[in-house]
Amino acid sequence: MKFEGVDYYHIDDLLFDDEKMARNTIREFVDDKVLPIIEKHYREGTFPMHLVPEMAALGIFGATLPEKYGCAGLNNVAYGLLMQELERGDSGIRSFASVQSALTMYPIYTFGTEEQKDYWLPKLARGEKIGCFGLTEPDYGSNPGGMITRAEKVDGGFILNGTKMWITNGSIADVAVVWAKWNGVVHGFLVEKDFKGFSAPEMKGKHSLRASITSELVLDNVFVPDSHWLPNTQGLKSALMCLTQARYGIAWGVIGSAMVAYTTALDYAKSRIQFSRPIAGYQLIQAKLVWMLTEITKAQLLVLQLGRLKDQGKARYTHVSMAKRNNCEVALEICRVAREILGANGILDEYPIMRHSANLESVKTYEGTHEMHTLIVGEDITGIPAYE
Amino acid sequence: MQIVVTLSHVPDTATKIKISSDRKSIDPAGVSFVINPYDEFAIEEGLRTKEKFGGNVIIVSYGNDGAKESIKKALAMGADKGILIKGDLNVDSLTVAKALATKISELKPDVVFCGKQSVDYDSSAVAQMLAELLNLPSISTVVSLEFSDGKLKAKREVEGGLEIVESTLPAIITAQKGLNEPRYASIKGIMAAKSKPIEEATFDASQNKLSVNELRLPDSKRKSRIFDSEDASISELVRLLREEAKVI
Ligand SMILES: Cc1cc2nc3c(=O)[nH]c(=O)nc-3n(C[C@H](O)[C@H](O)[C@H](O)COP(=O)(O)OP(=O)(O)OC[C@H]3O[C@@H](n4cnc5c(N)ncnc54)[C@H](O)[C@@H]3O)c2cc1C
Ligand SMILES: Cc1cc2nc3c(=O)[nH]c(=O)nc-3n(C[C@H](O)[C@H](O)[C@H](O)COP(=O)(O)OP(=O)(O)OC[C@H]3O[C@@H](n4cnc5c(N)ncnc54)[C@H](O)[C@@H]3O)c2cc1C
Condensed to tens digits (0 to 9), the pLDDT of residues A351-364 reads 999 999 999 999 99
Condensed to tens digits (0 to 9), the pLDDT of residues A214-236 reads 999 999 999 999 999 999 999 99
Instruction: Spell out the domain ranges in chain B.
Output: 2-202
The residue nearest atom 53 of ligand 1, judged by CA position, is A362
Query: Among A142, A148, A244, which residue has the most ligand 1 atoms within 8 Å of its CB, making it the best to mutate?
Result: A142
- A63 vs B187: CB contact, 8 Å cut-off? yes
What's the CA gap between A316 and A310, in Å, rounded? Answer: 8
Between the CA of A265 and the centroid of ligand 2 the distance, in Å, is 15
Q: What is the pLDDT of residue B35?
A: 96
* Per-chain mean pLDDT for chain A: 97
Q: What is the pLDDT of residue A36?
A: 97
A82 vs B: CB within 8 A: yes
CA nearest neighbour of A132 among A86, A181, A78, A188: A188
What's the CA gap between A186 and A177, in Å, rounded? Answer: 12
A83 vs B: CB within 8 A: no
Is B151's pLDDT higher than 90?
yes
Condensed to tens digits (0 to 9), the pLDDT of residues A189-216 reads 999 999 999 999 999 999 999 999 999 9
With a cut of 0.85, is the ipTM above it? yes
Is A66's pLDDT higher than 80?
yes
Measuring from each residue's beta carbon to the nearest atom of ligand 1, which residues come in under 6 Å?
A 99, 133-136, 141-142, 166-168, 209, 214, 362, 365-367, 369, 371-372, 387
**pLDDT band, residue A129 (cuts 50/70/90):** very high
Q: What is the pLDDT of residue B248?
A: 79
Residue B189, classified by CB atoms within 10 Å of its CB into exposed (0-12), middle (13-18) or buried (19+), is buried
Q: What is the pLDDT of residue B245?
A: 78
- B194 vs A21: CB contact, 8 Å cut-off? no
Q: What is the pLDDT of residue A2?
A: 83
CA nearest neighbour of B78 among B184, B199, B198: B184
What predicted TM-score, i.e. pTM, was given to this entire model?
A: 0.92
Q: What is the pLDDT of residue A1?
A: 66
Between the CA of A334 and the centroid of ligand 2 the distance, in Å, is 19
Considering only residues A7 and B248, tell me which one the structure prediction assigns the higher pLDDT: A7
Q: What is the pLDDT of residue B30?
A: 79
Is A182's pLDDT higher than 70?
yes
The residue nearest atom 19 of ligand 1, judged by CA position, is A366
Among B184, B187, B193, beta carbon nearest to A74: B187
**pLDDT band, residue B219 (cuts 50/70/90):** confident
Mean pLDDT computed over B116-139: 94
Q: What is the pLDDT of residue B222?
A: 67
Task: Confirm if B210 and A54 have CB atoms less than 8 A apart.
Answer: no
Mean pLDDT computed over A121-133: 98
Q: What is the pLDDT of residue B194?
A: 93
Condensed to tens digits (0 to 9), the pLDDT of residues A28-55 reads 999 999 999 999 999 999 999 999 999 9
A17 vs B: CB within 8 A: yes
Any atom of ligand 2 within 6 Å of the Cβ of A341:
yes
- B187 vs A2: CB contact, 8 Å cut-off? no
Determine the atom of ligand 2 nearest the C-alpha atom of A272.
Answer: 30
Any atom of ligand 2 within 6 Å of the Cβ of A274:
yes
| Alpha carbons within 13 A on the beta-carbon side of A77 | 22
Task: Confirm if A311 and A75 have CB atoms less than 8 A apart.
Answer: yes
* Per-chain mean pLDDT for chain B: 92
Mean pLDDT computed over A343-347: 98
Task: Confirm if A261 and A338 have CB atoms less than 8 A apart.
Answer: yes
**pLDDT band, residue A135 (cuts 50/70/90):** very high
- A25 vs B186: CB contact, 8 Å cut-off? yes
Report the topology of domain B2-202.
Rossmann fold (3.40.50)
Among B184, B189, B191, beta carbon nearest to A29: B184
Which stretches within chain A are classed as H helix? 17-29, 35-44, 51-58, 76-89, 91-98, 106-111, 114-125, 236-271, 283-311, 317-341, 353-365, 370-382
Considering only residues B23 and A177, tell me which one the structure prediction assigns the higher pLDDT: A177
Considering only residues A341 and B88, tell me which one the structure prediction assigns the higher pLDDT: A341
Query: pLDDT above 70 covers what percent of chain A?
Result: 100
Mean pLDDT computed over A303-313: 98
Mean pLDDT computed over B65-81: 96
**pLDDT band, residue B28 (cuts 50/70/90):** confident
- Judged by its nearest atom, the ligand closest to the C-alpha of residue A213 is 1
Considering only residues A254 and B211, tell me which one the structure prediction assigns the higher pLDDT: A254
A53 vs B: CB within 8 A: no
Is B68's pLDDT higher than 80?
yes
Mean pLDDT computed over B217-232: 74
Is A143's pLDDT higher than 90?
yes
Mean pLDDT computed over B121-145: 95
Q: How far is B135 from chain A (nearest CA, A)?
A: 37
